[in-house]
Amino acid sequence: MVLAVSVDLKKSARVFAVVVAAVAGSALITACQNDPDIDITKLTAETDPPEVLYNQGLANLNAGKTGEAARKFEALDRQHPFSEYARKALVMNAFVSYRNGQYQEAINATGRYLNLYPQSEDAAYAQYIQGLAYTKQIPAVTQDQKPAFKAIEAMQAVVDRYPDSQYVEDAQSKIRFARDQLAGKEMQVGRYYLERKEYLAAVSRFRTVVEQYPNTNQVEEALARLVEAYYAMGVTSEAQTAAAVLGHNYPDSQWYGDSFKLLQSGGLEPRESGSSWIARAGKKLIGA
């Protein structure tokens, strides 16, 4: 009799354990369903094949659901990291980040892609996205222009490494924009010094524009400001040379008209000196 009772107790214990486990599991599922902070779909492993995840990502992207697209691409990278679709998903995720204004995330993703697949068919596109992400962060000329330097570096890589890609033309356009921004920063600082009659410091900034950024829209003013600064210092030969180079390259410019009047007020006229750095730099100007 004692043995029979013992067996019954053991059987009851096993039944009780099963019931408790079932109740606990049910409670967990119910809690997950009711708790908005828990995504029950993430409790199970992703079983979709890579091509399905990739196409779902593209479909969501085309539908404007960038958040869902990013989740699909990320799941693909996580679940099938060595597949061809994972490689494609990485560059597409970089594009999604760029499109969402998450520029640093786009830069990080493209940097990872280019480290892993520098010779792939999408490498040019990844490099281009990186350049776009830096370009979008270029601030006004009154602020630090580090993103402009980075944009030039990234877009120049498109031109140099992938010269036959469809992104070269726009990359060159973005380089010109960034260079014009850097020249604008130099002009902003140069004008600051000129207004305070710190002429040598001002000349240094304007000279940087003429020599390092000759093919920008800032050159006309830079030459005119050199006329102004050199004339104020009494270095008339350099002032005359700057005016002559300005007139040769931009004869219809208002900046040239103002420079001509300034020299004329002192009984001078534009005259180029072959020994001047301005004359040498003038041969490389956009209007030359």
Q: How high is the pLDDT of residue 255? A: 97
Between helices 219-233 and 199-212, what is the axis angle to 10°?
Answer: 150
Structure tokens at 123: 């490498």
- What pTM was computed for the model? 0.77
Interatomic CA distance for residues 256 and 2, integer angstroms: 117
Chain centroid offset of residue 154 CA: 8
The larger pLDDT score, comparing residue 39 to residue 266, is at 266
Contact 125, 91 (CB under 8 A): yes
Contact 96, 64 (CB under 8 A): no
Which stretches of the chain are DSSP H helices?
A: 2-34, 50-62, 66-79, 84-99, 103-116, 123-135, 146-161, 168-195, 199-212, 219-233, 236-249, 254-265, 277-282
Q: How high is the pLDDT of residue 5? A: 37
Least confident of 10-24, 46-60, 135-149: 10-24
The larger pLDDT score, comparing residue 286 to residue 31, is at 286
pLDDT band at 65 (very low <50, low <70, confident <90, very high): confident
Full DSSP string of 84-118 = HHHHHHHHHHHHHHHHTT-HHHHHHHHHHHHHH-T
pLDDT band at 85 (very low <50, low <70, confident <90, very high): confident
CB atoms within 10 A of CB 204: 15
Q: What is the mean pLDDT of the chain?
A: 85
Chain centroid offset of residue 189 CA: 24
Contact 80, 88 (CB under 8 A): no
